Structure 1
Amino acid sequence: MRRRTQKHLVHFAIFFGILFLIIFLGRSQSNSKPFAWTTVRYRTTSASLPEPRGVCPGLTGSFKPALIVSRVAADGDPKWLDALADLYHLCVYIVDAPADASSTYLQVPANRGHEAMAYLTFLIDNYDNIPESGAVFVHGSRWAWHNDHKDYDNAALLTALNMSTALAPFGYHNLRCDWSVSTCSTKEAQPQGSMETYFQAVTEPWNARAVSDTALPRALAILFGGDEYSMAKSDERLLMSRTDAVRSQCCAQFVVSRDRVLQHTREEYVALRQWLLDGRDDIVAAEHLQKSKAAPSDDRVSGRILSYVWHILFMPRSVSDVQSGTADGVNLERLNYMACPSADECYCRLYGRCNLEGCTTPGRCHGQYEVPPDFKLPKDWAATHSYQNTFQP
């Protein structure tokens, strides 16, 4: 055989080998299998747990929904919350305040995972007193680009929010209706375990979205598999495939019923918070093995991972799960369907904005919300919009 012929054969073999690999990696896989994402099984090696400094005063027996607010000093004046006290029982956490046993502010063990630390601290320290009317979890800034309102006003959204209709379908609902900056649209988001997402995370390590999406499959397996994941990393009921996608709304503001909170034990929320705490940069070398299983130390990554976890935790595991044969797990197709209702349906159910015009796609109703340039509001936004004291949507 001529040398040139041999060379061509080798090139053909390499070409078809690469082609087969691409087809294999990109092959379609069913996401109807049940995932074992039902119980948080992460185990910490920490010798002690944080003291309970997040007990919300007066919550016991309250008939109002709890409003859990995760604030930082940069959020500005919190007085806008005062006008909401007639509608909600306020539980405000200052996550970047120094630890102070005499402080009247609700405190968290560490400023980790953005809003997730305050949310989990509330769930842990007030587990037995979740109001029958449910709870709303929000960020501490009144004006923010992600608030689904024409003027980006969270006060207006919370005033208009209809708790009963919001909780009626599933006992959990994200406060956003517009699908922009979410993973609800398959056209705008890649499966978290895909090769494209992985390569983007490698080539753009500053891209928190790509890095957190790449870290999500392993994080879910560790959180819901615990030590079992370490012993059986090939468990398909814990690990997402390269074509599986967790669809969800952004940006970690939601409403949840008491029943949905109580479908997990207090110890599970403790474990989830310890996953965050065990990933701190100050973990000593002797605990390196534990840290390798814990949350990424970068809050932009760990916080975003947990923004995918809330609806996995709180969406119901109902009779329909039993009928479909997934009572022992999470049906990803069903989960994605519940997590991403159409925008027009969502606006009507949550905020009473019904029969809207311009709802030409499932994820958007023109005139209701627009992402501001560079995801930022002008610096004088609060001052120029402070006249809106009635909080009308």
Structure 2
Amino acid sequence: MRWFSSPLRDCASPRDPSVSRSRVFIYLGLAVTLLLLSYQLILDRGPGIGTSWTAIQGIIVAGDEDRFVPDYVQPAEKELVLAAMQASNMSWVEEHLSDWQVNIYRADAKHDDVGLTVPVNKGNEAMVYLTYIIDRYWSLPEVSVFLHGGRYQWHVDNPLYDSVISISHLNLDFVQEAGYVNLRCAWSVGCPRELEPARYLRERPDDKGHPTAVEYPDRFMELFPRAEVPEVVGTPCCSQFALSKTKIHEQSLEHYVRLQQWLMDTELDAGISGRILEYSWHMIFGKPAQYCLDQRECYCRTYGYCNMTDSDIQNQWVWRGLQLPEGWPEQSESAE
């Protein structure tokens, strides 16, 4: 009796065809199973895992360990960016501008509070604007409009000083064309000349009544290190403007991070640092130092108020001081 077969004899023996076919089917089955398992693993990873914003949440920006990239926000065609405080009543936005996607930054809110806030509450609205641009740089809408939190403000460019009117009438096609559009056309306050940086740099006057003008030349050189200090800076006040996505993307993300870092590091108080940026936004976004559009053309292209007479332009915005009458617009000035 043989307890084992000779290897040489087994190799020389003819193979059973049924055994060979069985092995082929086994190998095919294993291959199909491996392919199905690989496909399932790919599905479990989900689409775009290499570029998911959720996956990179927590990335450090500009060396600030407390600064985190927010979750991805699906951009709309148009968005509002509002600089507010925790006590600000922002219900007017939802009530009257519900067709806009809204970003309300409460500058004095803590980071663990619900909602949007800023790294440091400095520079008034400027910190909000730069924070939005940095956080949303890769998910910007076609048009972003930057505003203060109050609906009625002394500088809003219409007879009621009403931001709802300005936003509702804003010509988005013109924003796309121009890239940067100041929401104010009136020349009162800011135009044709607000600052004389080159003269102040040469003469260094002791102008205690105009601290922004005194600080501006040196701060301009910090903000625009490759630019010549201009003789005149002129543009309508007061830090409310619209930007196209294309215009924002003309500068790198790092550029805006540097501007924000300047604002975070400056020893200037919020009023002065905010005003320095107020009279720099137009240059940051590629306009000349003296940028005062013809008022008639500006109203027509920005808001569609065309064929305005001199009287229309004069009455479009009237100086009432730095604060509107209490109860405006329900309570008129004459009723006080």
Q: TM-score range by the shorter chain?
A: 0.7 to 0.9
After superposition, residues 155-166 of structure 1 pair within 5 angstroms as 155-166=164-175
**Kept in 2: contact 1:197–1:213 (CA 8 A):** no
**How far does residue 87 in structure 1 lie from its aligned partner after superposition?**
3.1
**How far does residue 251 in structure 1 lie from its aligned partner after superposition?**
0.5
Indicate whether 1:115 and 2:125 are aligned: yes
What TM-score does the superposition give when structure 1 sets the normalisation length?
Answer: 0.63
After superposition, residues 1-393 of structure 1 pair within 5 angstroms as 48-52=64-68, 55=70, 59-62=73-76, 64-73=77-86, 76-97=88-109, 99-101=110-112, 103-131=113-141, 133-168=142-177, 170-182=178-190, 184-186=191-193, 189-195=194-200, 202-204=206-208, 207=209, 210-225=210-225, 238-240=227-229, 244-279=231-266, 296-315=267-286, 335-336=288-289, 339-358=291-310, 365-372=313-320, 374-381=321-328, 384=331
> Which structure 1 residue ranges, 4+ long, deviate > 4 Å from structure 2?
195-200
Name the Cα RMSD after superposition.
Answer: 2.6
**How far does residue 191 in structure 1 lie from its aligned partner after superposition?**
1.4
Matched with 2:46 is: none
Go from structure 1 to structure 2 and tell me whether the alpha carbon gap of 1:203 and 1:247 turns closer, same or farther (over 3 Å shift). closer
Go from structure 1 to structure 2 and tell me whether the alpha carbon gap of 1:115 and 1:190 turns closer, same or farther (over 3 Å shift). closer
For structure 2, the residue ranges without an aligned partner over 5 or more in a row are 1-61
**How far does residue 66 in structure 1 lie from its aligned partner after superposition?**
1.4
What TM-score does the superposition give when structure 2 sets the normalisation length?
Answer: 0.73
- Which deviations, in whole Å up to 9, do the C-alpha atoms of 1:205-260 show, x marking residues without a partner? xx4xx2112222211212232xxxxxxxxxxx54426xx11222210000111111
Question: Matches of 2:122 and 2:104 in 1, distance apart?
Answer: 16
- Which deviations, in whole Å up to 9, do the C-alpha atoms of 1:11-63 show, x marking residues without a partner? xxxxxxxxxxxxxxxxxxxxxxxxxxxxxxxxxxx86354237x4x874242x
- Which deviations, in whole Å up to 9, do the C-alpha atoms of 1:362-391 show, x marking residues without a partner? xx911100111x321112225548xxxxxx
- Which deviations, in whole Å up to 9, do the C-alpha atoms of 1:143-189 show, x marking residues without a partner? 11011110111111111111112332x2111000001111x224xx4
Question: Matches of 1:94 and 1:224 in 2, distance apart?
Answer: 29
Matching residue's letter, 2:74? T
Q: How many residues align?
A: 271
Instruction: Give % identity.
Output: 31
Go from structure 1 to structure 2 and tell me whether the alpha carbon gap of 1:272 and 1:116 turns closer, same or farther (over 3 Å shift). same
Go from structure 1 to structure 2 and tell me whether the alpha carbon gap of 1:59 and 1:66 turns closer, same or farther (over 3 Å shift). farther
Aligned partner of residue 366 in structure 1, secondary structure = helix
Aligned partner of residue 252 in structure 1, secondary structure = coil
**Kept in 2: contact 1:68–1:137 (CA 8 A):** yes
Question: Matches of 2:83 and 2:202 in 1, distance apart?
Answer: 30
Aligned partner of residue 198 in structure 2, secondary structure = coil
Aligned partner of residue 146 in structure 1, secondary structure = coil
**Kept in 1: contact 2:207–2:214 (CA 8 A):** no
Aligned partner of residue 303 in structure 1, secondary structure = helix
